[in-house]
Amino acid sequence: MDQTIFVLLAQDGVTNGAIYTLLALALVMVFAVTRIILIPQGEFLAYGGLTMATLEAGSLPGTLWVLLGAGAVAFAMDLATARGGGRRLPGRSLARSAAWNLGYPLALAALLTQLPLAGLPLAAKALLALALVVPLGPMMYRIAFQPVAEAPVLVLLIVAVAVHLAMVGVGLLVFGPEGSRTTPFSDAQFEVGAMQVGGHTLAVIGASLALIVALYLFFDRTLYGKALRATAVNRNGARLMGISPALAGRLTFLLAAFVGALSGLLFAPMTTVYYDSGFLVGLKGFVAAIIGGLGSYPLAAAGAVMVGLLESFSSFWTSAFKDVLVFTLIIPVLLWRSLASHHVEEEE
């Protein structure tokens, strides 16, 4: 291997690593707040990429039907909760549920059918793709996880696997079995020393860094960010402050879906995305999150870059085994973690 190839592989590894970082951070965040291991995190990526591809082809993305359907189910569940159980759900929160779960998807549908999709600039398409995919996050929480929010971690994991399988199936239904690749955000090439850097590579790394900073500011500065952290630290304490687990869950899933969909937009120009591509990418983010012990954001990010580099270098030497090598990484990490860390009882 000469220097040019080394630099090329390293660049590739860091770019992929940036995507894995986003997914790993989302996984750590969701687990901290809700104790859910979000297996379907990768599906947000696939849905984001494929929705973008459909918009680029100038046709109406099938994501819209998913959004309309999921919204209807979520609203029906809110309605059922308000009616039955004797639990009072004030009219205001039911109205809010109707606005988000029914009004928003319908408004978006109206907008999409009016717009000349093919002629839109790239940025507008990206925004539309986000607008379509991101609300699926809170709806997913409402439908699948809120009813079992108090269940043990294992039950939540099983539900997460079920949601993942359902989303892959729905993805096949609405996007079809063909893969798509989208236009890069930039075709520019830059010479940095002896290195050729693509504009899209810079866009991926820049967007990832910007998102990480934004997430940091959200959690450090805003009341809602602090509320999510409080829920992660002490659920009972948070409830006594009036921070409901349902609110925290929906907000966390909104962020996770945003991170996932955005990483899909960044990922789709680099490789062909299929309806089931999300799982493998998500799993690599999960390996990175595990390296961080599913609890540390910086370690998860470092792990993600490590996974990206390992993947790109092993694809050079033994491309057939690149995934095997990446996933084998988890074994020494787990060994090291189980030896190095003592079991910590839940804080009282």
Partner 1 sequence: MGSNLLDVKGLSVAYGKVEAVSKLDLSVPHGSIVTVIGPNGAGKTTTLSAIIGLLPSTGRIVFDGADDRPDVEAMVARGMTLVPEKRELFGSMSIEDNLLLGAFQRCRAGHRDHATTLADVYALFPRLKERRAQAAGTLSGGERQMLAVGRALMAKPKLLMLDEPSLGLAPLIVREIFRIIAELRRRGVSILLVEQNARAALQVADHAYVLENGAVKMQGEAQAIAADPRIVESYLGLASKHQERLAG
- Of 196, 234, 296, 328, the one binding partner 1 by CB under 8 A: 234
- Confirm or reject binding of residue 186 to partner 1 (CB under 8 A): no
- Confirm or reject binding of residue 251 to partner 1 (CB under 8 A): no
Residues numbered 54 to 73 that lie near partner 1 (CB under 8 A) are: none
- Of 84, 193, 242, 298, the one binding partner 1 by CB under 8 A: 242
The residue among 240 and 331 lying less far from partner 1, judged by its C-beta, is 240
CB atoms within 10 A of CB 89: 14
**Residue 281 per-residue DSSP state:** H
Long-range pairs, 194-199, Cβ under 8 A, ≥24: 194/3, 194/4, 194/7, 195/7, 195/11, 196/8, 197/11
Please give the Cα distance from 83 to 88 (Å, whole number).
8
- Of 194, 240, 320, 340, the one binding partner 1 by CB under 8 A: 240
User: Closest approach of Cβ 252 to partner 1, in Å?
Assistant: 16
User: Closest approach of Cβ 224 to partner 1, in Å?
Assistant: 9
- Of 8, 122, 202, 229, the one binding partner 1 by CB under 8 A: 229
Q: Which of 180, 208, 174 is nearest to 66 (CA)?
A: 174
Cβ–Cβ under 8 Å, residues 201 and 269: no
- Confirm or reject binding of residue 92 to partner 1 (CB under 8 A): no
Q: Which of 31, 259, 227 is nearest to 145 (CA)?
A: 31
- Of 57, 241, 324, 335, the one binding partner 1 by CB under 8 A: 241
- Of 226, 296, 309, 322, the one binding partner 1 by CB under 8 A: 226
Binding span for partner 1 by CB under 8 A among 82-90, 104-112, 251-259, 286-294: 82-90
The residue among 77 and 120 lying less far from partner 1, judged by its C-beta, is 77
Contacts of 101 (CB under 8 A, 6+ apart): 71, 72, 74, 75, 78, 139, 142
Binding span for partner 1 by CB under 8 A among 66-74, 83-91, 210-218, 312-320: 83-91
- Of 123, 154, 194, 223, the one binding partner 1 by CB under 8 A: 223
Classify each residue of 235-247 as buried b or exposed e, where b means 16 or more C-beta atoms within 10 Å of its C-beta. Answer: beebeeeebebeb
- Of 114, 236, 319, 341, the one binding partner 1 by CB under 8 A: 236
**Residue 345 per-residue DSSP state:** P
- Confirm or reject binding of residue 243 to partner 1 (CB under 8 A): yes
The residue among 246 and 280 lying less far from partner 1, judged by its C-beta, is 246
Cβ–Cβ under 8 Å, residues 281 and 267: yes
- Confirm or reject binding of residue 322 to partner 1 (CB under 8 A): no
Q: Which of 265, 280, 285, 279 is nearest to 61 (CA)?
A: 265
Token digits of residue 205: 């790394």
Which stretches of the chain bind partner 1, using CB under 8 A? Answer: 86-88, 90, 223, 226-227, 229-230, 233-234, 236-244, 247, 347-348
